[in-house]
Amino acid sequence: MYHPYKTSNFRIKGLKSPPLADTRYRIGDIVFAHHVEFEGNAGSKARPILYLGCDGNSVRYMKCTTVQSDRAPQVPVGDPISAGLEKNTYIIPVVKHIDRSNLKYRLGHLCKEDLEYLQENITN
C-alpha cells in the first residue's frame, strides 16, 4: 500500500526535522514545538501542537498526543498523514498559550474534515 509520508524527503529515517521552516503558520497547521508544558507546570517536552493563531509572540494552540486517555477529552485525528503525523494522534481540545520562539517547523495541516470534527466536538 502506498504511503506518501514514507516516501517524502522529510520522513526519511534519521532525518531530524523536515525542511519546512516557514514561520508563517495558519490555523489548522500541526507544528513541532519545544517546551510544551505538562499539566500543572511539572516540566515540559517537545511535541506536535495544533496551531490556532497568535497575538504578537503569544501562540494559541492545542496539544497533540499519541496516548489515548479516558481522563481528559480527546478528539482523534482522522487523517494523520495529511497532518504530518506518523502515528494515530489525538488532540486535547483545551486552548493553551506558548511563546512563538518555541515553534520550530510545520509538520502538516489538518484536513477539512478533521477541522470540522474538532470544532463540533470542542466543549467550552
- Whole-number Å distance between alpha carbons of 62 and 110: 13
The 8-class DSSP code of residue 9 comes to G
Q: Cell numbers at residue 86, please?
A: 506518523
The more confidently predicted of residues 52 and 16 is 52
User: Domain of 62?
Assistant: 4-13+21-120
Q: Kindly indicate the confidence band of residue 123, based on its pLDDT and cuts at 50, 70 and 90.
A: low
Three-state SS for 101?
A: helix
Three-state SS for 65?
A: strand
- Whole-number Å distance between alpha carbons of 124 and 121: 10
pTM for the model stands at: 0.77
Residue 83 clears pLDDT 80, i.e. is over it: yes
Residue 15 clears pLDDT 90, i.e. is over it: no
The 8-class DSSP code of residue 39 comes to G
Q: What is the 3-state secondary structure (H, E, C) of 69-114?
A: CCCCCCEECCCCCCCCCCCCCEECCCCEEEEHHHEEEEEEECCHHH
Number of domains in the chain: 1
- Which range has the worst mean pLDDT, 68-72, 80-84, 119-123? 119-123
Between the CA atoms of 16, 61, 79 and 8, what dihedral angle is there, to the nearest 10 degrees? -20
Domain at 42, CATH number = 2.30.30.110
